[in-house]
């Protein structure tokens, strides 16, 4: 092989070698390539460092956008406006709070006159009788009591106060305008209100709005039993059911009474609504009845009867008739029968015992041998059968001097007395058949 051929072979062989080793990575500017080590089985890519994020780009990413001068001025104006609004709001809230507090203090000061007036009476009454009868105690030339019933309109209230003279020279429309303008008209409640005279319209409105509801007017009609009083008061929400029954038993114990039925004088009472109201009311009703009997103590002595006898008789009279003109006559007939030991024959006593005031009395009830069956038993029943009013008590104290022993009421309610039983049977035939 010639030198030329050998040189050409070497050139071709090198060319072939270059083609074989070209896949092997070669460092730049390196004259000698490094062969891949066969002992390394792990991927060399794991040894390569992860590409780091450019610090310059990272800082640019976190950097906020710079505001222009115009934007900064707008933001400053907005901040100032927002701060101003907050200051005004806080100031306004503080002013409203102070105004509300002052307003409440003004209402309380305006109404305090009425409350002090009431307290002045309660301080004069014994602790056991804190309830008081304002109809007898209030100087009517200085104060006017007005009761608002459920369903009464505001215009009707204004008209009533005008007619009572509470508004002075002002009209009902003037008061209505004050109530509406101050939104007092939406807060007026049913109840009793005590108005001193010479009040301005705004004070009257405040009293109505404040709701002077710690007073209640209680109207108790003649002839109610203790159970009836309890039911009446509880139905009005003034006491819990059973409270007056307990209070009546307490009066028996406190004053050593033989019974309580008949000792509670029914009248119209004005009372503060508070805890223990039933006991307080029972106290005043009893004391009022006792005062009436004390006024007529000389008459009791003349008749030779006890106050319990008078109250039992008065309770029977009260249940026998509601006509006050008939009461002295019936009282005289009862006294005539008592004087001769004759059974009274008053069916109301059996009705009281059986608590039956509406359905017909049965024959078994009329023939039962009980202390309250005055068709069989002579004398008075053991207790009163109701709480009589003043006319019935006075009729028991001052009975008619009459010859009659019998009486009946016809279908129109007219009374027909009789001297003998035969005359009575004739009246039965004439007026009830």
Q: Per residue in 142-172, pLDDT tens?
A: 567 788 888 889 999 999 999 988 888 889 9
400 touches 332 (CB < 8 A): yes
- Does the pLDDT at position 342 exceed 80? yes
- Does the pLDDT at position 304 exceed 50? yes
Say if residue 163 is in the same domain as residue 175. Answer: yes
- Decide if 122 is inside a domain: no
- Decide if 264 is inside a domain: yes
Spatial separation of the C-alpha atoms in residues 414 and 219, rounded to whole Å: 28
Say if residue 308 is in the same domain as residue 372. Answer: yes
Tell me which of 174, 198, 213 is where a domain ends. 213
Say if residue 203 is in the same domain as residue 160. Answer: yes
- Does the pLDDT at position 345 exceed 60? yes
176 touches 188 (CB < 8 A): no
Say if residue 208 is in the same domain as residue 224. Answer: no
Where does the pLDDT of residue 26 fall: very low under 50, low under 70, confident under 90, or very high at 90 and above? very low
- Decide if 130 is inside a domain: no
- Average pLDDT over every residue of 247-271: 90
The closest of 401, 405, 346 to 377, measured between CA atoms, is: 346
**What pLDDT shows up at residue 236?**
81
Say if residue 318 is in the same domain as residue 391. Answer: yes
- Decide if 336 is inside a domain: yes
- Average pLDDT over every residue of 322-327: 94
> 185-200 pLDDT, tens per residue?
887 888 777 776 777 7
- Average pLDDT over every residue of 233-244: 88
- Decide if 109 is inside a domain: no
Say if residue 192 is in the same domain as residue 281. Answer: no
- Decide if 251 is inside a domain: yes
- Does the pLDDT at position 227 exceed 50? yes
Say if residue 235 is in the same domain as residue 202. Answer: no
The region of weakest confidence among 4-13, 49-58, 344-353 is 4-13
The region of weakest confidence among 277-291, 347-361, 378-392 is 277-291
Say if residue 315 is in the same domain as residue 371. Answer: yes
Chain-wide mean pLDDT for the chain? 77
Q: Which residue has the higher pLDDT, 312 or 271?
A: 312
Say if residue 172 is in the same domain as residue 203. Answer: yes
- Decide if 330 is inside a domain: yes
**What pLDDT shows up at residue 333?**
97
DSSP string, 214-274: TEEEEE--TT--HHHHHHHHHHTTSS-TTHHHHHHHHHHHHHT-S--TT-S---EEEEE--
Strand 406-409 with 268-272, pairing: unpaired
Q: Name the domain count of the chain.
A: 4
Tell me which of 160, 187, 213 is where a domain ends. 213
**What pLDDT shows up at residue 271?**
62
Instruction: Give SS3 for 180.
Output: helix
> 378-395 pLDDT, tens per residue?
999 999 999 999 999 999
**What pLDDT shows up at residue 217?**
66
Supply the range of the domain harboring residue 424. 403-433
CATH of residue 143: 3.30.1490.480
Burial (Cβ within 10 Å: 0-12, 13-18, ≥19) of residue 390: middle
Say if residue 196 is in the same domain as residue 246. Answer: no
Tell me which of 188, 213, 238 is where a domain ends. 213
Say if residue 308 is in the same domain as residue 395. Answer: yes
Rg (CA), the chain: 51
**What pLDDT shows up at residue 81?**
82
**What pLDDT shows up at residue 194?**
73
**What pLDDT shows up at residue 374?**
95
> 86-106 pLDDT, tens per residue?
888 888 877 777 765 555 555
- Does the pLDDT at position 39 exceed 80? no
């Amino acid at each position: 092989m010639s030198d030329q051929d050998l040189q050409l072979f070497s050139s071709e062989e090198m060319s072939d070698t270059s083609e074989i080793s070209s896949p092997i990575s070669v460092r730049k500017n390196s004259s000698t390539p490094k062969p891949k080590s066969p002992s390394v089985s792990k991927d060399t890519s794991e040894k390569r460092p992860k590409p780091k994020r450019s610090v310059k780009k990272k800082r640019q990413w976190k950097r906020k956008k710079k505001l222009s001068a115009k934007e900064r001025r707008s933001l400053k104006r907005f901040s100032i406006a927002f701060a101003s609004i907050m200051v005004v709001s806080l100031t306004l809230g503080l002013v409203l709070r102070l105004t509300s507090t002052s307003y409440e203090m003004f209402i309380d000061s305006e109404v305090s006159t009425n409350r002090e007036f009431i307290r002045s009476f309660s301080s004069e009454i014994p602790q056991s009788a804190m309830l008081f009868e304002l109809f007898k105690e209030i100087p009517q030339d200085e104060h006017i009591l007005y009761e608002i019933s459920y369903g009464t309109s505001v215009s009707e209230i204004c008209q009533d106060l005008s007619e009572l003279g509470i508004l002075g020279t002002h009209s009902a429309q003037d008061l209505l305008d004050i109530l509406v303008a101050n939104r007092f008209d939406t807060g007026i409640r049913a109840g009793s209100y005590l108005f001193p005279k010479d009040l301005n319209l705004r004070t009257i409105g405040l009293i109505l709005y404040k709701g002077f509801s710690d007073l209640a007017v209680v109207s108790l009609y003649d002839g109610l039993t203790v159970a009836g009083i309890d039911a009446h008061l509880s139905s009005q929400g003034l006491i819990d059911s059973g409270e007056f029954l307990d209070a009546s038993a307490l009066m028996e114990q406190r004053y050593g009474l033989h019974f309580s039925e008949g000792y509670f004088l029914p009248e119209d009472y004005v009372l503060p609504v508070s805890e223990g109201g039933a006991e307080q009311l029972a106290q005043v009703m009893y004391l009022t009845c006792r005062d009436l009997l004390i006024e007529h103590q000389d008459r009791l002595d003349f008749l030779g009867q006890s106050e319990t006898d008078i109250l039992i008789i008065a309770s029977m009279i009260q249940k026998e008739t509601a006509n006050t003109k008939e009461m002295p006559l019936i009282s005289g007939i009862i006294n005539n029968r008592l004087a001769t030991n004759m059974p009274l024959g008053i069916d109301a006593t059996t009705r009281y015992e059986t608590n039956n005031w509406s359905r017909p009395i049965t024959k078994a009830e009329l023939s039962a041998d009980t202390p309250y069956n005055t068709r069989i038993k002579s004398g008075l029943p053991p207790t009163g059968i109701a709480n009589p009013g003043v006319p019935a008590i006075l009729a028991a104290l001052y009975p008619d001097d009459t010859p009659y022993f019998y009486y009946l009421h016809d279908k129109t309610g007219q009374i027909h007395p009789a001297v003998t039983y035969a005359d009575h049977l004739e009246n039965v035939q004439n007026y009830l058949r």
